[in-house]
């Protein structure tokens, strides 16, 4: 139900890690998992160290966009950084959603650095029975 738009995304992500932090014009990628659970899809994004207020989620037509920004922790003048490996800057991910998903009822929750989006399958995409009318026989066919 989820469609990948860029087969070279992992290569881009590796290159961005080597080139430095993401910016608003060229954001870095964020890791994600996607799976189906019953009648909805769950998409989980890793955003450790990002406050919920710094996350932006948009859906336009069938394009889901998640953007987040991790800023440096405020330091006083007497702090000397010894090691800095955690990426800072802007992170973004875009996913094309299938027409069979209900983009009007997406639910989002954020806990322990993981953003979870739950996207229900649209009612029109679920299997249903079709009644056949006319005549004295009234039959149902699975559709």
Per-residue model confidence (pLDDT) at position 103? 93
Mean pLDDT of all residues belonging to the chain = 82
> For 4-15, how does the pLDDT look when each residue is reduced to its tens digit (9 = 90+)?
555 666 666 566
Residues 6+ apart with CB under 8 A from 65: 56, 57, 58, 59, 92, 93, 94
Say what the pLDDT of residue 113 is: 94
Tens digits of residue pLDDT in 29-76: 888 999 999 999 999 999 998 999 999 999 998 999 999 998 877 777
């Amino acid at each position: 139900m989820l469609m990948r738009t860029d087969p070279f995304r992992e290569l881009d992500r590796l290159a961005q890690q080597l080139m430095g932090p993401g910016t608003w014009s060229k954001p870095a990628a964020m890791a994600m998992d996607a799976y189906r659970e019953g009648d909805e899809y769950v998409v989980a994004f890793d955003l450790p160290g990002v406050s919920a207020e710094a996350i932006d989620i948009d859906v336009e037509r069938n394009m889901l966009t998640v953007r987040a920004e991790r800023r440096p922790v405020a330091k006083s003048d007497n702090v000397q950084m010894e090691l800095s490996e955690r990426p800072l800057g802007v992170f973004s991910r875009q996913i094309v959603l299938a027409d069979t998903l209900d983009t009007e009822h997406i639910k989002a929750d954020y806990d322990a650095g993981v953003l979870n989006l739950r996207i229900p399958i649209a009612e029109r995409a679920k299997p249903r029975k079709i009644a056949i009318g006319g005549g004295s026989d009234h039959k149902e066919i699975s559709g």
